Each structure stands twice: as C-alpha cells, then as structure tokens.
Chain A
C-alpha cells in the first residue's frame, strides 16, 4: 500500500469514527466487529469492551430471534433491511441527543442493515447504520396531538 493509500485509509477510518450516524459491523453470529464513535458516545461502551461480543450479550433487551429474522435476508439475499421508528421507536436504548431541551427521553432511531461483501465475494458481515430521528418523531407526535385536539374542539363547538 502506498503512502497515499495509507493516508486515504486513515481518513476513511477517521470519517467512520466521527460521522454522526451509528455504524456497527456484525458477523454471522452477531458478534460486534466495528463500533464507531457515535455508538461509543451514546452507549458509553468502548469498542474494546464490545468487540467480539454478541449484540445480545451487550444489550440483553434485544430479542435475538427477532433480530435474526431481520438480518437473515441481508445475509442470504444481500438486500438491505430497514427498521423505522414508526415500527419500533428504537433498537438501542440511548438517551436523547439533547438532554436539556429535548422533549423525548429516548433517541428515536431509523436503522438500515446492508450486506458487506468480502474479498471472496461472500457475505460474512453486515453493516448496521443507526440514524437519530428523534426530532422527526417528536414533530410528528406533536402534529398528531394537535390534530386530535383540533378534532375535539370542533366536536365541542358543534355539540354546543
């Protein structure tokens, strides 16, 4: 590897570390291979603490059977899998990114799973990306609450 390649590699790793999206790489046994800065900060767990352990050892509230059902098509079909906050508010129980002004206690998450092809062309690992969508979720909940209130008011005014 040339000097340039090394520099570029270094940058790439740096970017994955600092990007404000959770990046986790899992193997077929759901053992954690990569745990980026976002995950470290929000979970309070160091990469050295979690590397090599399964997701379920580290987070006992994640249902193994359920999770495997999600990852299976990613490994087998190489399709991406998505989990949205509407379906399940969060996978990782992280506190809100804005602890002071945030209205929700937890971080709502959208999650994407995608296959990582190895040099031999096989899929032995998958990448999980965790997006913070708390603001979207909070806005939507607020909007819905307003709509309900509006309907109630309308009903009240018509019944009078």
Chain B
C-alpha cells in the first residue's frame, strides 16, 4: 500500500493534514514529530510521500531535505508551512521538494497538488502494475475457465463426435497496444478469419474474439457435416457456426460459475468486412487494459486450429473477483 509520512511538531497540524487526504485514497499514514524521526521512518521504507513542516525542533525542514538528498532516500516531499516568504518556496524547491503548500492546509488544495503531480493516479497504476494479476486471482480465473472448458469440451465431444484437446487457458492483463497487435495480425494474415461478439451481464462486460485459421475450414465443414462446396459464403457461415458454439459453450460455463447470465450481442466479422485497425483506434481512449483469457483449441484427428480470446473490461474484474471470492478463501 502507498505510504504517507506526515512530519510536523504540532499534533493538531499532523491530524489536519491526515484529515485533508482524499478519503477514498487507500494509504497507510505514519507520523513523525521532527525531521530526525522522519528520516528514521524513511530509512525503514515508510513514506513514499512526505508532508514536511519547516519549523521544527531537532531537525528542521530544510535540514531534513538536505539529509534526504544526502542519504539518497526515495520519497516525494511536499512542504507544508506557515512561512509564506517567496524565498522559502524557492529554497525548499531547490532542495528537492516538489511542492509548497501554505498553512492552514485544506483538502481541495491538497487534492489539487496530488493531482498535479499525478500522485493519486500513479499510486493506482502502481498497484495494478505491481500485482498486475496476483497469482491467486490468475489461478482462480484459470480454474473456472478450465471447468467451463471441460463442460464445453464434453458437450462438443458428444454432439460432434470429436475429441477436443482442452487448451490450458492463458490469463493475462493486456494493454490496448497488445490487443492491437493481435488484431492487426488477423488483418495482415489472409489465412485467418475472425469474429468478435460483445457480451454483458450485471456488472460484467466484455468481448469474445474468435479466430479461425483458414486451413481449418475444410475440416470444420466435415465436422459440422456440410456437404456443399466450401466457398466464401459457406466459409463465413462455418466461421459463424463454430464461433457460436465455442463462444456460447465457454460463456455459459463461466456464467454458471459466476452465477450470472450473459446477454450476447450480434457477432461482427473482423477483417473480412471491417477494418480492424480503425475499429480499435476509434475507441482506444476508452479503456487502458483488459483481462484476457486466451484459449487455443485443437481437435484430435482434424486439422483445426482456432483461438478464442475472452476480453473483460477492467471494471468487470471487481465484480468477478467478488463473485469468485469464495474460491479465494483459505
């Protein structure tokens, strides 16, 4: 957790700063009564952000800034002081403070400063970065996908009389750019076709991406028992049929375990009828990253290779994690 150190000799001042921190900001707060205590705390790794008073006993603010510099301690310092002289501002900035706030501090002002230096945003990002996908959560997603796939595989095997080599789901948080790469790959290679389909349940939204290599069409036609000549039109139908079945079975399996229902939108053909790059570019700003569950299927005895990618929005993860919390316990 992000740690904040508040250093002031006055208890009232310390409490006031603590009270002015954004209430939704989850941080651990530490206090120091003077510079020396602050340095000691910093050396213990506390205080990624330090609110520092200037006039204090033992070690004052200026000396503390000097000590931080000298010892190479990593922290961001915001000076909060009643000293309103312009020179004081310049001096502390020269010593490495990122901002100067005049006393008495208020929450709007503090929030503005935190925003200005993107401390709030950075903290959020760091949190996601550092535990991008904690191992236990990844495990849970992998496991529920496995179960969903197991059921789906069983259904497929029974109705189409094929043995499905169950894929090991690959669970990751991916960035826009990575998805972009994945999709432009579809566009460039003429040998694959893709379909995307939106799905939504209460609090959970995402898209399923189905990619089939064109060399698979012949065998897919065999499995689905199509005797016609496999022309472009039939290929499109095969793609749609295969996508319906694989996306449907997988989503159904997941929905049962998450105890919710997914509505599915109408599938859209990628690459063939739509410019993928444009599709992504137009809504690039709306999301940063997404939870991706990738599944690569193979069918025993057939030359069929297809990939199913389920993308969940970042917000959906909160709901899903909550729904899956019973699996995370003990």
Contact = CB atoms under 8 A, between A and B. Distances in A.
Given A78-B252, A79-B249, A84-B267, A69 B244 contact: no
Contacts of B158: 76
B224 A82 contact: no
A79 B226 contact: no
B57 to A, nearest CB: 72
A77 B245 contact: yes
A73 B226 contact: no
A84 B322 CA distance: 35
Given A69-B224, A69-B226, A73-B159, A84 B266 contact: yes
Interface string A30-50: 000000000000000000000
Interface in A56-82: 69-70, 72-73, 76-82
12 contacts: A70-B241, A76-B159, A79-B247, A79-B252, A81-B241, A81-B248, A83-B240, A84-B240, A86-B236, A86-B273, A110-B266, A112-B264
Nearest to B228: A66
Contacts of B267: 82, 84
B264 A80 contact: yes
Interface residues of A, number: 19
B237 interface: yes
A73 B266 contact: no
B269 interface: yes
Interface string B271-301: 0010000000000000000000000000000
A87 interface: yes
A131 B266 CA distance: 10
Interface SS of B by simple majority: helix
B244 A81 contact: yes
A126 B259 CA distance: 22
A72 B225 CA distance: 12
Contact of B240 (A77, A78, A87, A112): A87
Interface string A115-159: 000000000000000010000000000000000000000000000
Contact of A87 (B225, B237, B264): B237
Contacts of B224: 69
Given A79-B252, A86-B269, A86-B273, A73 B244 contact: yes
B225 A77 contact: no
A128 to B, nearest CB: 14
A87 B237 CA distance: 6
Interface in B166-224: 197, 224
Closest 7 CB pairs between A and B? A79-B248, A76-B159, A81-B244, A77-B155, A110-B266, A73-B245, A87-B236
Nearest to B237: A87
Interface in A80-94: 80-84, 86-88
A31 B156 CA distance: 26
Given A69-B225, A70-B241, A82-B240, A76 B155 contact: yes
A82 B264 contact: yes
B273 to A, nearest CB: 6
Nearest to A111: B266
B237 A82 contact: no
A84 B269 CA distance: 9
A89 B152 CA distance: 30
A110 B268 CA distance: 11
B266 to A, nearest CB: 5
